[in-house]
């Protein structure tokens, strides 16, 4: 990293608590450029946070990326920092949140447990490690403290997602999360669609609980208010409604399972 160090912050905290995290980083590393990537990850939604990081970090400057979606805060789960091959360091809980983004940045080179007392705030709380553990680590890393000084090496935990079920003419997948438009991002990829249905031309219509859902490349290929299946910008399959909310239209939320079946052409 050259020039002013870059630090990004992603949380499910909302604005106020995330602002505190940013302030701790800025106080420890006043020369750093600090950007809040998002404070609006759905609370406790580790898979959603991991997907956002995986999508976003390759487009951000090489730097230090704090990510906190941490339903296990204060338990035996480890706080870690992960160096990726591109040169970035990802800081957050070892609950799978960081692993996909580290892979997107070239793979894990080194990971350390954040346990050095002098590189945390004094008397860290049990419930706000974003402020007391992760933000100080990011600040000290931005100031040039070597990763090795934070603690012992560790192998980061992977993010375990439910696998899609591919049948002959059926694809069952889990909803990972609804995005801000209400589109339902699925734990499945276009390759899974091809395995279930063969090579599908755009315009082919699938069936979801008796509802016709075209496979298309973008929202505007169907009339406003109509559903569609497409590949979203993360590379995953998604169920959407053009200019509407699939989450509301289908009554589905994270963790729900849905099955697409063969139907034919429109």
For residue 250, is pLDDT > 80? Answer: yes
Residue 204: inside a domain, yes or no?
A: yes
Give the Cα-Cα-Cα angle 102, 148, 70 (nearest 5 degrees).
50
CA distance 116 to 137: 10
- Percent above pLDDT 70 for the chain: 98
What is the pLDDT at residue 265? 47
Residue 158: inside a domain, yes or no?
A: no
Residue 87's Cα: distance from chain center in Å? 19
For residue 266, is pLDDT > 80? Answer: no
What is the pLDDT at residue 2? 57
Ramachandran bin of 141, using left for φ above 0, alpha for ψ from -120 to 50, beta for the remaining angles: alpha
pLDDT tens profile 178-191: 999 999 999 999 99
Beta strands 64-68 and 89-93: pairing type? parallel
At which of 150, 174, 199 does a domain end?
Answer: 150
Backbone φ, ψ for residue 77 (5° rounding)? -60, 145
Residue 250: inside a domain, yes or no?
A: yes
For residue 264, is pLDDT > 90? Answer: no
Q: Is residue 186 domain-shared with residue 67, that is, in the same domain?
A: no
Domain of residue 219: give its range. Answer: 165-265
What is the pLDDT at residue 263? 81
Q: Is residue 202 domain-shared with residue 255, that is, in the same domain?
A: yes
pLDDT tens profile 22-62: 999 999 999 999 999 999 999 999 999 999 999 999 999 99
CA distance 48 to 252: 15
pLDDT tens profile 8-18: 999 999 999 99
How many domains are there within the chain? 2
Q: Is residue 260 domain-shared with residue 220, that is, in the same domain?
A: yes
């Amino acid at each position: 990293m050259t020039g002013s160090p870059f630090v990004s912050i992603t949380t499910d905290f909302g604005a106020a608590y995330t602002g505190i995290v940013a302030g701790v980083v800025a106080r420890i590393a006043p020369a750093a450029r600090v950007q809040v990537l998002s404070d609006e990850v759905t609370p406790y939604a580790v898979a959603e946070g991991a997907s956002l990081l995986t999508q976003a970090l390759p487009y951000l400057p090489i730097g230090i990326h704090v990510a906190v979606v941490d339903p296990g805060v204060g338990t035996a789960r480890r706080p870690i920092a992960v160096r990726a091959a591109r040169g970035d360091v990802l800081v957050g809980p070892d609950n799978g949140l960081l692993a996909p983004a580290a892979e997107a940045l070239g793979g894990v080179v080194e990971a350390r447990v954040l346990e050095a007392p002098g590189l945390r705030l004094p008397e860290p709380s049990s419930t706000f490690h974003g402020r007391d553990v992760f933000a100080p680590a990011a600040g000290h890393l931005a100031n040039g403290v070597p990763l090795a000084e934070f603690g012992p090496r560790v192998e980061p935990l992977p993010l375990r997602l439910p696998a899609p079920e591919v049948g002959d003419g059926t694809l069952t997948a889990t909803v990972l999360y609804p995005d801000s438009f209400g589109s339902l991002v699925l734990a499945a990829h276009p390759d899974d669609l091809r395995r279930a249905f063969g090579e599908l031309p755009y315009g082919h219509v699938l069936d979801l609980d008796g509802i016709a859902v075209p496979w298309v490349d973008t929202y505007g290929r169907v009339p406003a208010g109509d559903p569609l299946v497409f590949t979203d910008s993360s590379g995953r399959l998604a169920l959407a409604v053009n200019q509407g909310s699939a989450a509301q239209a289908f009554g589905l939320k994270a963790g729900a399972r849905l099955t697409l079946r063969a139907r034919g052409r429109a």
